[in-house]
């Protein structure tokens, strides 16, 4: 194998590039010599840049020969890491040839064994172990069961467990089943923090300041740095302890394992390996799963709150025994998770079939598990704001370049004035310390922590504070419907029974009448996944409401004896006191297929007490249930009935049943659902009312006013979603609605799209007329020029999937005005968010955290309405049970973003002000004293950094977003103009000072006489190098200059609260101004000697005050009148014909010129279509198609587009 490069975890979140290297001894020796001669700096550089370490000590080679692996992330940051290749020789006790003990051929371990040596080579990256696959020539993840195993393979190869030898070998190769994050020792955290590039620069700066005798100032900065390091180390230590406690929870428990010989053995969970069979049981204590496992026997109910943020019980069913070579995940499709028990979830109930045990095969251990992914996501959190970080680095490099110019200037000036080499070097290095302000990183971090704290007080939690800034850029928010826009609980409206050819009269639950016994009542009483926990029914809110409406009672599991002596576990439901007279004693629920969003249905096998045969009940989406029913049992007017109720906003559930003869069928758990779910009899429709949450309309209106798009993404019926969309204001009543229906290609007819325009009579909201007719684009169709400007697309999941497969070039156009996306599976929700992001929308997603988990992660900002403070489901979790959290988060995001940019501007201009003052002072070979520097930093800069970000968010969302780019024209122009103003202020002061009659560079005590001192006393004193008229004037001017820019940059409206609400900041500014005015006009000798300033005439003090006031007025006028004048910038953009470069803006401009968009009341056909996986590949433009007739010619040719 000669490969030197490969991709690790291709297509996954932690995808990395892998490079093979071999250590060269003589290069390694040279590097060690370099460490010594560079006093360790070369080692520190290698610590910062692992790639340099590898390149200097190793040479590229094939992976089979490599002893060092260089990893590089494929994200925008491209971070490198160095890993050593480790070799192990797995063997069992007493065996000499270890590889003979491995019986599973073609397993990962078997392919990784280097024969005949019997060694296995691996690396460990981000807590995951990767072994070298000698057969396929690649590094492969270990600690997981082979993904290419079929359902039958898992049952046959692993259903009976592993032998003790197999288990021992796997444990040596895979490692312990442990998700343990060690508590980092304080000294390690301290060393890593000290070797941060920022603190290394701090050490350099402190050394220079000490060398220049700035002892007091250096001590203050040193104290600040020590306090900052202590605070950082403390926080990191606390986080390490918390993460350690979180990771070890239920990390080592006792589990029962089935061995190959049939022996049941109780072992520690840390010894589990992929392929082990664990036995599930319910104990008095809570039973948490220590690994990811796939259920192969029995059924169980688990609480996945740790994963989803919802504590709703989830039913799990065993993996079917399907004879197929297809991998089990592909065989099960999107619903494979209903067979998987995830690590960290709690087992609430188990259900055994006959005398069989409830068994599960371990498929993932340690950090490979779902819980391990959560811990790793916290440990190796992907850096956010990559573009912002890159812009910040570029800006800082510009400041470094300016500082280097200052170095060159100082060297030239001091050389001209005849300074020694020592002085020239000292002053040059001193100027270089001004490149990056010492408080910049701390100030930006503090702003994020303030934002996180404010959100936490509101009940919104975020693990990564950097994501808060992303929330400030959102311009589109996707909302789930049920539980997010509408109430969690549904109100029962009625039941519409069917008698085969037509519907009977509706039974309204508002009436006092009880439902008579019928299979329809039996379906409502038994077709659910409810469980009894701690004496209380738990389950899906819809199931709870449906069951409560029957008046029946629920009993927990019981055991029913059979003629073979076996016992079956089942759930019993019986008529309650309020159920009226019912001719049956109860219904036993023997087996169930839990509800799935992708299947859109659930089914149960029951036995009505007193009857011999079984009864199968099904409930789900009406259009899905109808597919499994006999056509003659479905009323002909069902479509009209569905439209009638769904357009009024009701949620409609279809119900059906069939009898299943008990004789001649295998065990219930072995029955195949595709055989059971056939020839059902349609029972009727269950109608529920899903009310909007009181806050929904107000929040959506607030977002719309702020020009933030609202999109509904739901698994519910399209008509119901449309009704909710209109009632909540997501679709204005004056807008046109275009429903998109797409069809798969069939026989000779290609895929098609039908565009149905809904015209609504505003006086009668529910009278709708659908008009649809076929047309051909190239046949001279004339667009409807009277259409309103605003229109909204509505589409269901099936049609959206067809669009992505056959009409991909239309998808971006549909998304521009797509508002309602119904019948969306969790996978389609994620795909939709991904497509929005491709158009360069900043997408937010708000959902319940369960079915929306993928979309919440895919969005720029995902908010889960959850009671948990942290969840793997979403970056943000909100304890606020409604969508009020969304505008709150956006407001705080904008506030934090503006605060961070303002602080960055302030510290950047502060650097230039300091450089300018040094330029003038060095020209006259004078400096500011230590006391003067202390006053500037301790009285001005540090208090500002601590208090400037305390403003809360603005109470109202502005109709525009703050600039999201650090190098935006407005920000760069602001820094540049304030630099010019500062330059003008200091130049004016310098020039005017030179023109004063009393100015003298040698005699600095004659401008005015201090009190109680004679002239002889003054002239006898030798002034220090800092006691000059220029230094005194420059100190006052630069101090007031800094106060001015801190006030001007403390932006309030429209994204932050007004400045006066930040009381602490206002008090600090008032005190700062008062102190410097006191220094300017006070004539105390103590002040002169302490701060090393000289007395200046009173009129010159007034001149300084006038200059400072003029500078303040100009700075404030330019910042507010020009730089923050949105109307002016819009005018400039218009005059310069500037247009947004975002993809969705470009598309909008293009569609404005398209007279045929949007299509209305027509059907378009695809001549040729391509299934698109990546948007970068070639797709074909979809021409219209006329179904062939006897006189028709051949099809229109396709047109290629990129």
Domain, as residue range, for 219: 188-246
DSSP 692: B
Provide the token pair at 194: 């000290």
Joined together, the tokens standing for residue 719 give 């008509």
The average pLDDT across 1098-1123 equals: 92
From the centroid of its chain, how far is CA 445? 19
Same domain, residue pair 964 and 928: yes
Asked whether residue 1039 carries a pLDDT value surpassing 90, the answer given is yes
Which one is predicted more confidently, 871 or 1043?
1043
Lowest mean pLDDT among 152-156, 245-249, 517-521, 849-853: 849-853
Residue 610 confidence class, pLDDT cut points 50, 70, 90: confident
Confidence of residue 1153 (pLDDT cuts 50, 70, 90): confident
Going from the C-alpha of 948 to that of each of 223, 469, 1041, the distances in angstroms are 22, 17, 17
Among 480, 540, 543, 848, which one carries the catalytic annotation?
Answer: 480
| Lowest mean pLDDT across 476-490, 588-602, 620-634, 770-784 | 770-784
Tokens representing 926 are 């004078």
- Report pLDDT for 708: 93
User: What φ, ψ does residue 195 adopt, rounded to 5°?
Assistant: -85, 10
Output 1173-1176 pairs: Cβ under 8 A, ≥24 positions apart.
1175/808, 1175/838
Question: Given pLDDT bands bounded at 50, 70 and 90, which one contains residue 309?
Answer: low
**285 or 730: whose pLDDT is higher?**
730
Looking at the structure, tell me whether residues 618 and 542 fall in a common domain.
Answer: yes
Q: What own/partner pairs with CB < 8 Å and gap ≥ 24 does 269-273 have?
A: 269/177, 270/176, 270/177, 270/178, 271/167, 271/171, 271/176, 271/177, 272/177, 272/362, 272/365, 273/162, 273/167, 273/170, 273/171, 273/174, 273/177, 273/362, 273/365
Q: What is the structure's pLDDT at 768? A: 39
- pLDDT tens digits for 986-1008? 999 999 999 988 888 777 777 77
* Mean pLDDT across 1158-1185: 55
Which phi and psi (to 5°) does residue 404 adopt? -65, -35
Question: In this model, does residue 131 exceed pLDDT 50?
Answer: yes
Mean pLDDT of 239-257: 76
pLDDT of residue 171: 87
CB atoms within 10 A of CB 767: 10
pTM reported for the whole predicted model: 0.76
Q: Which of 521-535, 720-734, 816-830, 1156-1170 has the lowest mean pLDDT?
A: 1156-1170
853 part of a folded domain: no
For the cut 80, the answer to whether the pLDDT of residue 851 exceeds it is no
- Amino acid 1155: pLDDT: 85
Q: Higher-confidence residue: 684 or 763? A: 684
Residue 982 lies in a domain: yes
Considering the domain boundaries, does residue 538 fall inside one? yes
Of the pLDDT bands very low, low, confident and very high (cuts 50, 70, 90), residue 775 is: very low
Among 143, 177, 199, the domain boundary falls at 143
**Are residues 545 and 454 both part of a single domain?**
no
Question: Would you place residue 387 in the very low, low, confident or very high pLDDT band (cuts 50, 70, 90)?
Answer: low
Query: Which pLDDT does position 388 carry in this prediction?
Result: 67
Checking if the pLDDT of 812 tops 70, the result is yes
Alpha helices in 249-357 (DSSP H): 305-308, 328-332
Do 565 and 448 sit in the same domain of this protein?
no
- The pLDDT score that the predictor gives to residue 890 is 94
Closest CA relative to residue 169, chosen from 198, 197, 205, 131 = 131
| Res. 407: pLDDT tops 70 | yes
Quick check: 59 pLDDT over 60? yes
Residues 535 and 558 in one domain: yes
Of 267-271, 433-437, 499-503, 1070-1074, the one with minimum mean pLDDT is 433-437
- Do 219 and 267 fall into the same domain? no
Q: Is residue 52 located within the same domain as residue 20? A: yes
480 is catalytic: yes
> Among residues 143, 170, 200, which one ends one of the domains?
143
- If one counts the domains in the chain, the total is 5
Are 92 and 218 found together in one domain? no
Do 211 and 273 fall within a single domain?
Answer: no
* Band of residue 188 on the pLDDT scale cut at 50, 70, 90: confident
In contact, 296 and 159? CB cutoff 8 Å: yes
- 980 lies in a domain? yes
Residue 200: closest CA among 41, 53, 51: 41
Within-domain flag for 1072: yes
Contact 1095, 1088 (CB under 8 A): yes
Average pLDDT over residues 865-870: 61
- 1174 or 739: which leads in pLDDT: 739
230 & 283 share domain? no
CA angle 400, 402, 403 (to 5 degrees): 60
Do residues 116 and 228 both lie within one domain?
A: no
Token pair of 650 as six digits:
């009701």
Q: With cut-offs at 50, 70 and 90, classify the pLDDT of residue 720.
A: confident
Kindly report the backbone phi and psi dihedral angles of residue 167, in degrees, each rounded to the nearest multiple of 5, phi listed first: -65, -40
For residue 1082, name the pLDDT band (cuts at 50, 70, 90).
Answer: confident
Q: How far is CA 97 from each of CA 94, 118, 383, rounded to the nearest angstrom?
A: 10, 7, 47
pLDDT at 1199: 31
Q: Is the pLDDT of residue 657 over 80?
A: yes
**Mean pLDDT of all residues in 472-480:** 92
pLDDT category at 867 given cuts 50, 70, 90 is: low
- Which domain CATH number covers 262? 2.70.150.10
Of 262, 244, 272, 341, nearest in space to 302 by CA:
341
pLDDT at 1111: 95
Mean pLDDT of 1160-1189: 51
Asked whether residue 257 carries a pLDDT value surpassing 60, the answer given is: yes
Q: At residue 819, does pLDDT exceed 90?
A: yes
Average pLDDT rounded to a whole number, residues 35-64: 87
Would you say residue 568 lies in a domain? yes
Express each pLDDT in 736-746 by its tens digit.
899 999 988 88
Q: What is the mean pLDDT of the chain?
A: 81
HEC states along 46-97?
HHHCHHHHHHHHEEECCCCCCCEEEEEECCCCCCEEEEECEEECCCCCCCCC
**907-945 tens-digit pLDDT:** 889 988 988 888 888 888 888 888 888 888 888 888 888
Give the domain-ending residue among 1060, 1089, 1124. 1124
Q: pLDDT tens-digit profile of 210-237?
A: 777 777 777 777 777 777 677 777 777 7
What's the rounded Cα separation, in Å, for the pair 971 and 955? Answer: 24
**Do 293 and 264 have their domain in common?**
yes
What does the DSSP assignment read for 877-891? Answer: EESSSSTTHHHHHHH
- Give percent of the chain above pLDDT 90: 19
Residue 529's domain is classified under what CATH number?
A: 3.40.1110.10
Higher pLDDT, 1189 or 676: 676
Distances (CA, A) of 224 to 703, 929, 937, 938: 42, 20, 11, 10
The residues with which 371 forms a beta bridge, in sequence order, are: none
pLDDT at 1107: 95
d(CA 572, CA 774): 54
Whether 953 is in a domain gets the answer: yes
**Pairing between β-strand 80-84 and β-strand 68-73 as defined by DSSP bridges:** antiparallel
Q: Is the pLDDT of residue 781 over 70?
A: no
CA–CA gap between residue 359 and residue 336 (Å, rounded): 17
Q: Which of 793, 790, 787, 841 is nearest to 817 (CA)?
A: 793
pLDDT for residue 250 = 66
Residue 1017 scores a pLDDT above 50: no
1109 in any annotated domain: yes
Segment 134-147 mean pLDDT? 84
């Amino acid at each position: 194998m000669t490969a030197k490069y490969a991709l690790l975890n291709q297509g996954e979140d932690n995808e990395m590039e892998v490079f093979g290297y071999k250590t060269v001894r003589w290069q390694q020796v040279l590097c060690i010599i370099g460490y010594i001669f560079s006093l360790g700096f070369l080692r520190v550089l290698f610590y910062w840049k692992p790639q340099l370490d590898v390149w200097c000590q190793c040479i590229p080679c094939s992976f089979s020969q490599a002893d060092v692996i260089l990893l590089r992330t494929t994200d925008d940051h491209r971070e490198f890491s160095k890993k050593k290749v480790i070799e192990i020789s797995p063997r069992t006790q007493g065996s000499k040839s270890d590889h003979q003990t491995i019986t599973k051929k073609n397993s990962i371990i078997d392919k990784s064994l280097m024969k005949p040596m019997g060694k296995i080579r691996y690396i460990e990256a981000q807590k995951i172990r990767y072994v070298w696959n000698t057969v396929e020539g690649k590094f492969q993840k270990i600690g997981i069961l082979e993904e290419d195993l079929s359902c039958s393979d898992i049952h046959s190869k692993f259903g009976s467990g592993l032998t003790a030898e197999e288990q021992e070998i796997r444990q040596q190769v895979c490692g312990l089943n442990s998700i343990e994050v060690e508590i980092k020792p304080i000294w390690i955290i301290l060393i890593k923090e000290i070797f941060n590039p920022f603190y290394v620069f701090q050490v350099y700066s402190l050394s220079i300041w000490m060398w220049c005798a700035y002892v007091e100032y250096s001590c203050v900065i040193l104290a600040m740095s020590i306090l900052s390091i202590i605070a950082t180390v403390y926080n990191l230590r606390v986080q390490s302890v918390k993460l350690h406690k979180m990771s070890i929870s239920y990390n080592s428990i006792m589990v029962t394992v089935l061995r190959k010989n049939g022996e049941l053995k109780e072992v520690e969970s840390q010894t589990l390996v992929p392929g082990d069979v664990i036995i599930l049981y319910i104990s008095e204590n809570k039973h948490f799963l220590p690994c990811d496992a796939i259920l192969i026997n029995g059924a169980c109910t688990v609480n996945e709150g740790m994963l989803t943020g919802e504590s709703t019980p989830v039913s799990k069913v065993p993996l079917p025994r399907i004879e197929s070579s297809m991998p089990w995940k592909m065989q099960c499709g999107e619903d494979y998770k209903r067979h998987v028990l995830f690590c960290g979830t709690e087992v609430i109930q188990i259900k055994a079939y006959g005398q069989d045990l409830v068994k599960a095969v371990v498929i993932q251990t340690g950090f490979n598990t779902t819980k391990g992914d959560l811990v790793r996501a916290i440990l190796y959190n992907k850096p956010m704001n990559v573009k912002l970080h890159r812009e910040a680095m570029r800006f800082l490099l510009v400041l470094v370049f300016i500082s280097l110019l200052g170095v060159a200037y100082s060297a030239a000036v001091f050389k001209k004035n005849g300074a020694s080499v020592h002085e020239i070097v000292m002053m040059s290095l001193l100027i270089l310390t001004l490149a990056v302000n010492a408080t910049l990183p701390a100030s930006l971090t503090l702003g994020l922590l303030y934002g996180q704290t404010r959100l936490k007080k509101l009940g919104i939690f975020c693990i990564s504070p950097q994501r808060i800034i992303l929330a400030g850029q959102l311009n589109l928010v996707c909302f789930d419907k049920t539980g997010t826009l509408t109430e969690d609980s549904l109100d029962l409206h009625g039941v519409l029974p069917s008698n085969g050819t037509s519907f009977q009269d509706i039974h309204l639950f508002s009436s006092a009448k009880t439902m008579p016994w019928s299979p329809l009542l039996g379906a409502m009483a038994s077709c659910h996944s409810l469980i009894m926990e701690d004496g209380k029914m738990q389950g899906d809110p819809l199931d709870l409401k449906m069951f409560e409406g029957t008046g029946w009672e629920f009993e927990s599991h019981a055991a029913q004896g059979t003629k073979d002596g076996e016992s079956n576990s089942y759930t019993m439901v019986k008529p309650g006191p309020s159920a009226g007279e019912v001719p049956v004693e109860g219904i036993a629920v023997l087996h169930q297929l839990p509800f799935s969003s992708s299947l859109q249905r659930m089914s149960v096998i029951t036995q009505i007490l007193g009857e011999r045969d079984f009864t199968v009940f099904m409930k789900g989406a009406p259009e899905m249930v109808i597919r499994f029913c006999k056509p003659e049992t479905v009323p002909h007017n069902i479509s009209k009935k569905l439209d009638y109720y769904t357009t009024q906003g009701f949620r409609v559930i279809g119900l059906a049943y069939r009898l299943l003869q008990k004789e001649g069928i295998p065990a219930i758990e072995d029955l195949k659902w595709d055989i059971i779910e056939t020839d059902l009899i349609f029972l009727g429709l269950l109608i529920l009312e899903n009310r909007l949450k009181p806050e929904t309309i107000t929040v959506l209106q607030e977002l719309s006013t702020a020009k933030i798009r609202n999109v509904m993404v739901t698994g519910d019926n399209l008509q119901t979603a449309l009704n909710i969309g209109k009632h909540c204001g997501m679709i204005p009543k004056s807008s046109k609605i275009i429903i998109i229906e797409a069809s798969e290609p069939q026989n000779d007819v290609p895929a098609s799209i039908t565009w149905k325009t809904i015209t609504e009579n505003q006086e009668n909201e529910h009278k709708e007329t659908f008009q649809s007719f076929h047309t051909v684009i190239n046949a001279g169709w004339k667009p409807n020029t009277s259409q309103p400007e605003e229109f909204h697309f509505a589409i269901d999941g099936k049609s959206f999937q067809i669009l992505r497969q056959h009409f991909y070039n239309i998808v971006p156009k549909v998304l521009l005005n797509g508002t309602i996306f119904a019948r969306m599976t969790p996978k389609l929700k994620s795909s939709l968010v991904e497509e929005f992001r491709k158009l360069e929308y900043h997408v937010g997603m708000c959902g319940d955290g369960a079915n929306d988990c993928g979309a919440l992660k895919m969005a720029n900002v995902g908010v889960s309405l959850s009671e948990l403070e942290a969840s793997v489901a979403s970056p943000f979790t909100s304890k606020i049970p409604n969508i009020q959290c969304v505008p709150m988060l956006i407001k705080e995001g904008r506030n934090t973003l503006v605060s961070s940019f303002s602080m960055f501007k302030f510290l950047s201009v502060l650097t230039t002000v300091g450089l300018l003052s040094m330029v003038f002072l060095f020209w006259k070979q004078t400096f500011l004293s230590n006391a003067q520097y202390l006053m500037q930093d301790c009285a001005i800069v540090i208090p500002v950094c601590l208090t400037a970000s305390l403003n809360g968010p603005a109470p109202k969302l502005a109709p525009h977003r703050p600039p999201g780019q650090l190098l935006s024209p407005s920000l760069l122009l602001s820094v540049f103009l304030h630099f010019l103003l500062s330059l003008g202020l200091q130049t004016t002061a310098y020039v005017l000072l030179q023109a004063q009659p009393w100015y003298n560079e040698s005699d600095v005590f004659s401008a005015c006489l201090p009190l109680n001192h004679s002239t002889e006393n003054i002239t006898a004193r030798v002034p220090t190098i800092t006691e000059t008229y220029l230094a005194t004037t420059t100190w006052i001017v630069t101090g007031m200059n800094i106060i001015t820019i801190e006030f001007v940059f403390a932006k309030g409206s429209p994204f932050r609260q007004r400045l006066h609400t930040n009381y602490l900041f206002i008090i600090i500014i008032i005190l700062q101004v008062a102190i410097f005015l006191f220094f300017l006009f006070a004539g105390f000798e103590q002040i002169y000697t302490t701060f090393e300033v000289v007395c200046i005439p009173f009129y010159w003090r007034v001149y300084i005050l006038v200059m400072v006031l003029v500078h303040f007025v100009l700075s404030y006028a330019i910042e507010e009148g020009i730089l923050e004048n949105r109307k002016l910038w819009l005018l400039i953009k218009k005059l310069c014909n500037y247009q947004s470069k975002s993809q969705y803006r470009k598309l909008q401009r293009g569609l404005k010129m398209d007279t045929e968009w949007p299509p209305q009341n027509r059907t378009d056909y695809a001549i040729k279509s391509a299934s698109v996986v990546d948007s970068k590949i070639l797709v074909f433009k979809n021409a219209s198609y006329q179904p062939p007739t006897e006189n028709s010619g051949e099809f229109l040719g396709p047109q290629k587009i990129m």
